[in-house]
Chains A and B, each alone.
Chain A
Amino acid sequence: MSVNNERTQRYGSTTDQRAKSKRSPAADEATILEVDGVTRRFGAETAVSKLSLSVRDGEFLTFLGPSGCGKTTTLRLIAGLERPDEGRIDLDGDRVADADGTFAPPENRDVGVVFQDFALFPHMTVGENIAFGLQERDDERTDDRVTELLDLVGLADKREAYPENLSGGQQQRVALARSLAPEPDVLLLDEPFSNLDVDLRVEMREEVRRIVKEAGVTTVSVTHDQEEALSISDRVAVMSDGQLQQVGTPEEVFQRPKSRFVAEFLGHASFLPGHIEEDVVKTTLGPIGRDRIHGLTVEYDWTTIDVLVRPDDLLARPAGEREADGRVIYRRYLGPTVLYRVELDSGEVLECMHNHSDRLELNEAVTVELAANHGFAWFPTDGEVF
């Protein structure tokens, strides 16, 4: 999988402007974190390969990718817990790491990290944990700051408790408060919700976003959970095999994925073959207007492309043998919704999302229709980048 870095970069910067105009009031925010061509190898393995990215002040950016894609290593590189083999990292205008040997240790970087397992010091109380990074202040100011943070995370009554006596969600709040206490330039979250129960996860997501936005700190998070990434972030950076695949707002990466990998990683994806004929793209589900296909260029005229369709774009209806164009081969009941997989007579397999009340039987003959009026992303049949 190769990605055109230059294009990603340019695409990324246009996204920045979009994100700003849409989400943040201040128009001219400075870049606080700049990662440029960073590579990190472990023996023969390249964990992070030529990664470039910039993060703006106050932004919430999430690295999203499957396990082993290099996202946690990227985070550790930013924190100063790993050294890059190539490339450079600038934090708040200061060079903190480059290939020539410049390397600021983590204690000199003004970064805060919330670790995956929280890494709370078991021999210290909640208050002592939060005060750990506040060595330079006098007792009174340390005390005030700890109180302030305990209020921020809603744990004012747990100041004297020890970490082992806290629930998972409370431990996470303490970890967050502790990393925010020294007022870092950038807050780093390493899979912050993976150690929590599913119910708690959604609640803490909202809570963490509220807290970091209230603190006004730039946040870089790492996750393999696409729902989490899409719901919490201002921008999402999708990674695979140590490389950056795409950076953009949640809407952009979901609706306009730049590669099949991104399309498939962000949710169920089916690819519907279509032949471009003048004003329309002809598919087995009927023609789609050319203007609804994002960025279709003339050089693909009269060729076959794959149109990305999400399960909620499609509906399968029971049909008589005559008009049916496929049959149900798989059914998964999810509670509110049901996911059906339909094999078309032409051989393609599509996934359709239905309301839980719709009931189709396995092997039932159906006809599938396109039930969406938005635009579609597409990929050349043999490649992945358009």
Chain B
Amino acid sequence: MTRITRILAFQIVSTVSAATLFSSLAVQSTAQETSTPNGIADNRAGAYALTNAQLYQSDGSYRYGSLLIRNGRIVSMQDNDRVPDGFFAIDLGGKYLYPGLIDIYTDLGLPELEPVDGNGAAENLFPSNGALNANDAIRANFRASTAYRTDENAVRNFRELGFSTVLSHRADGIARGTSALITLGDQNANEAIILPDVAAHYSLDKGSSTQSMPTSLMGSFALIRQTFLDAAWFTQQQPRPFTDDTLEAWQGTQSLPQIMEVENWQQALTADKVGDEFDIQYILKTAGDSYKRTDLIAATDASLIVPLNFPEAPEVTDPIAAEDVSLDALKHWELAPFNARLLVEAGIEFALTSGADPGFWSDLRKAVASGLSEADAINALTSVPAAMLGASDQIGSLRDNALANFLITSGPLLEEETVLLENWIAGERYLLNEDFDKRAGHYQLNVGSESYELSLTIDGGELSAELLLPGEQTRPVNLELGPDLITLNFVCDEEGTQLRLTGWSTEQGWQGNAYTPSGELVGWSLSQRGAPESARSVRNAPATADLPAGVLYPFTAYGRETLPRQQDFLIRGATVWTNEPEGIVVTDVLVRDGRIAGVGDNLFATGVELIDGAGKHLTPGIIDEHSHIALFNINEGQTNSSMVRMKDVVDSENINIYRNLAGGVVAAQLLHGSANPIGGQSAIIKMRWGEPANGLLIEDAAEFIKFALGENVKRSRNPASVRYPQTRMGVEQVFVNAFSQAQEYGKTWEDYNNLSRTQQRNTLPPRRDLVDEAMLEVLNSERFVTSHSYVQSEINMLMHVADSFDFNINTFTHILEGYKVADKMAAHGAGGSTFADWWAYKWEVRYAIPYNAALMQQAGVTVALNSDDAEMSRRLNQEAAKAVKYGGVSEIDALKMVTLNPAILLHLDDRMGSIRAGKDADLVLWSDHPLSIYAVAETTWVEGTPYYDKQEDARLREQIAAERARIIAKITQGGAI
């Protein structure tokens, strides 16, 4: 296909709804007219009446009647006595008939591309050759219909699972292009694809792209945002400024259903938020874990595509191996089957996908046994996915003129014993299984003069037989069964004599002729004597069944079923480290509504909890200026990644949040890493353990960005690295270049914004660039810089760059040679957030000294001590003590280095960092002097809420042990859910 026609294809799709396109399908569902048959014409009407059927209705009820089909389409539903002439009647004898099942998320017929592991190699900074996107992970121009190849085995597998239609897309890249709707008959590709370009697909995984960027989840989000902007900008212009089929395609497919695959519920929330920024409502393909926060998923208004790949039971029989199984994994094993039911209860619309997994039906029945109604389950495989794709006229229900896609079963679809019998696809009949249901039971076998008793039982749709002997003994019988023929053989006596029988079916059973062991030809018969033993005994559990255990917030160890509540309380007589002019005083502190309401002697208050602080120390909560906990990713790889946002990748389920609380930490700046000179935008959180990522972010906090200097940004540990910069000289140029570009960018927009309305109407707006916008925010002091730094030369350099662009470096972090240029830092107004005693792990920290904090403070720098380490962050009070040990900082000033000073550096000191009326009640009650190694945090409050309490912690430990023991016992006892 030429480029022009491809573009046209997208333009058509973008202006005509998918449903309208279907109007021509009546023709498509017959043979491909343009092909030449090898023989004479073979056109047939294919008119059938399927009578005496339980016809499934989308409201979940059944209508007893007939389904008429012709030319591969449904004509109508009729009562049994009103079947007109001209239809061949097939009597279903009360069997069940369902709309054809749809799997909305497959890659049927599309080649899988190998992911590439580029770890340790040189960076690949450019896209592959071709007039395509600047990033190879954007593959919006890919069309499944152009690459689809019929894979008969895969088609048959889906068909035998009961599906008649699938949506197929190539699962590769962040923008994956469009999917095709494919029917699963034995047609050629021209006929099988009933609609190309049905939906546009996306993910957060760059797939087989060999380009280094993006290297992170936040990089994926950033790339999606920029591509939205670029595609809109690009396609506004005539002629195009350059050739890029991917941007054409991205823009051309915006009006299709937009399907985004995510790996967990947290990504689902972020992806939805990014969609909202561009007025796109994604359909979210989830990982089946939405039950962990159905309230938040419901609030996205997104429809979901939900897999049914329930986890295998974790390996717990070996108790030592069981140690390594997380509580999350144990609970997920138990609760995952309840996911679909909980989605229904939360009012979330979803389609189910099989993952082409042979265990699909057993998982689906498990979901039904866990309270998903039959109707909701069936609709999630029929009418719901059809509606998502705008194809309800054609598939998903038994409505007139729809494709004749339907499934015939022996009983109600989701009951244990029900067998899938026939799958009709576009009017073609595919037999799946025989209905052996009525054949099960007790039989008498007469062979000549001998008589035996047999039992036929159904297991998983397969019939098997046993010879019944006196005394409840049995003997196996080999059985082969077809609709007409039967073959049996078994050992008929104690000597091991084999009896071999073949025969034909009759009304009551089977009969035939056979040779006895002695060689005599006799007649034999197998006659049913009793009804099947196990009538439908297993019924679906009622939808009101209780969950085996509650969902935890967060869904991990030390999560709680109910979040702790904000308290009003009065702490009496503690040694209070105020960080205010009063210094350290033994006094009372009153907390109301999450704020400090009063500090002073003999405070009195009613309706508050009294806490005896005698002998204990109360300090402001610890604030970690430099942390990487609770993030899904740390580093994006391009030299300037100012557009990535750590807020997009906050992991609210990370156990280190709780561990931080246990160390008295109430807040942290979650920073981008130091792989590049210009990193990403920070997330500043409070440790509100149990809240989702959005609830952790500090409201209205100042915005920050991470810069980095030195060995890491030069990629010193990767000898293969080719990325600019490779020297500290280049590092300076990166900054000068980035700020110069941002200035030009700002000027371009300023010029545009200054145009009159009429002029603006005749002028295309400039391209928006999220990298430049972030840099411009820095220049405008709307975003503050925290810069990773080590040696004095680079520290000095960055201050010069900032001065020359007329802004300030807010904070130098690491800053291990800050002591050498502390006077310059003080003059510039930069703070220093450093380690207490780290050194010698790299060449550039050889002359890092533990006196750094003391010396910088001596020179007038605001000094914080930070962790950059999930373990050390929970002992930052001890790190503060080292500032006393090395350099003789006063104890009050040392504590400020982990409380008030980081608050100042983060522009949060108006509400955090000291104990003063009006400030946030972020407090820690310590068992001992807070700088002492013997001090243990007893309670840590965030805004008056005790997110950590030592006594409650002891209870949580017991609950974790009990919950683990309960689930492990359930697994080892056979895992009935």
Are A and B bound to each other?
no
